[in-house]
């Protein structure tokens, strides 16, 4: 795939005005306040893995509306003291899988909470969490479930789950609550970015090829899934464009990025049609700009000119590990 988005010199300066609804902050304050009184941990039980170097637990926590959300909690075997903890979110259409599938963070010495994505495992499998709200009017794909109103939209529920996952991690034994990190790639990167904008005391953000950024542009310049699924929905529901665009404005990663204050590490592939590079740059270039602080948070970006949605792959992971160790002193 050849380059298709803006040239790199323009991308480095690309900071578009992304429309935000006037009640954006009120919407998210009210959404999260409705969950605040609920106990967050519902169940924690050991999970046999046949692995000697890590210990794992099957965690259920209360997400949006009190719905049970599943997660894997994994940490280096034999460690008792509080550890810095990475809360990770998975890509579109995926579930949490099995506890031995994602071991980078625990073998690097971190505690690790991997959140399931409610209702999304139909494409790749591995999910154990239902989405009771998925029947609201909208299209057949997760990115279009309930898309006609921000109140009924799937990503309102999923982003709330992501914030509650941080709260659940802080309630688990062996977690250093002052050093909790949000991390993810693609959809997981978009969720991590939303968490950075909603959780004021997050220790760090690690995101690669973040989904849900500058969405209004993304649905106009790529037909690749998941953005292409929104375009397909609008192609068949021509009168829905205005309410759909309004709904999407409540979950745009650029708005969350402007409100974030945690140190951040980004990665973007310039040939990425799934999450076009200009959409990720729009979030990176405005990261922390809406906090009112005199200087933006510490942030670092790695660009991969010849890579698509895979970005830097293992090279990027190595950079994440080295950067995060420096930020957390771990």
- The residues annotated with a catalytic role in the active site are 186, 272, 309
The C-alpha torsion from 236 through 240 and 246 to 252, rounded to 10°, is: -10
Residue 164's closest CA among 282, 71, 270, 46?
Answer: 71
Domain-located, residue 65: yes
Is 141 part of any domain?
Answer: no
As a residue count, the chain comes to 330
Q: How far is CA 184 from CA 91, 104, 259, 265, in A?
A: 8, 12, 19, 11
The answer to whether residue 179 is domain-embedded is: yes
- What tokens does 218 get? 């993304």
What does the pLDDT profile of the chain (330 residues) look like in tens digits? Answer: 689 999 999 999 999 999 999 999 999 999 999 999 999 999 999 999 889 999 999 999 999 999 999 999 999 999 988 999 999 999 999 999 999 999 999 999 999 999 999 999 878 889 999 999 999 999 999 999 999 999 999 999 999 999 999 999 999 999 999 999 999 999 999 999 999 999 999 999 999 999 999 999 999 999 999 999 999 999 999 999 999 999 999 999 999 999 999 999 999 999 999 999 999 999 999 999 999 888 889 999 999 999 999 999 999 999 999 999 999 998
Q: What residue numbers bound the domain in which 16 lies?
A: 8-129+158-214+256-325
Q: Are 109 and 86 in contact (CB under 8 A)?
A: no
pTM, two decimals, is 0.98
Q: Say if 74 falls within a structural domain.
A: yes
Phi, psi torsion values for 56, nearest 5 degrees: -130, 150
213: phi > 0 → left, psi -120 to 50 → alpha, else beta; which? beta
CATH of the domain at 293: 3.40.50.1820
Number of domains making up the chain: 1
Tokens of 56: 């794992």
């Amino acid at each position: 795939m050849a380059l298709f988005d803006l040239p790199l010199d323009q991308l480095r300066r690309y900071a578009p005005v992304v429309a935000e609804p006037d009640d954006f902050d009120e919407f998210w304050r009210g959404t999260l306040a409705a969950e605040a009184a609920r106990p967050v941990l519902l169940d924690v039980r050991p999970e046999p893995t046949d692995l000697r170097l890590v210990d794992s637990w099957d965690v259920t926590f209360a997400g949006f509306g009190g719905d049970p959300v599943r997660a894997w909690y994994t940490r280096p075997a034999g460690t008792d003291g509080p550890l810095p903890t990475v809360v990770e979110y998975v890509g579109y259409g995926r579930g949490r899988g099995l506890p031995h599938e994602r071991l980078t963070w625990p073998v690097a010495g971190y505690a690790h909470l991997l959140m399931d994505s409610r209702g999304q495992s139909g494409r790749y499998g591995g999910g154990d969490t239902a989405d009771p709200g998925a029947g609201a009017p909208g299209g057949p794909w997760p990115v279009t479930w309930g898309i006609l109103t921000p109140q009924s939209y799937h990503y309102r529920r999923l982003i709330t789950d992501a914030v509650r996952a941080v709260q659940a991690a802080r309630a688990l034994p062996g977690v250093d609550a002052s050093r909790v990190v949000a991390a993810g790639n693609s959809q997981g990167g978009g969720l991590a970015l939303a968490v950075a904008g909603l959780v004021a005391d997050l220790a760090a953000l690690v995101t690669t090829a973040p989904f849900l950024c500058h969405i209004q542009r993304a649905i106009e310049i790529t037909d690749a899934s998941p953005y292409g699924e929104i375009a397909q929905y609008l192609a068949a529901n021509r009168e829905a464009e205005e309410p759909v665009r309004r709904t999407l404005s409540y979950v745009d990663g650029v708005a969350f990025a402007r409100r974030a204050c945690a140190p951040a590490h980004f990665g973007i592939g310039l040939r990425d049609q799934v999450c076009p590079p200009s959409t990720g740059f729009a979030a990176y270039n405005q990261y922390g700009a809406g906090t009112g602080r005199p200087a933006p948070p510490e942030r670092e970006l790695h660009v991969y000119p010849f890579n698509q949605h895979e970005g830097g792959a293992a090279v990027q992971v190595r950079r994440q590990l080295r950067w995060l160790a420096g930020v957390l002193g771990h």
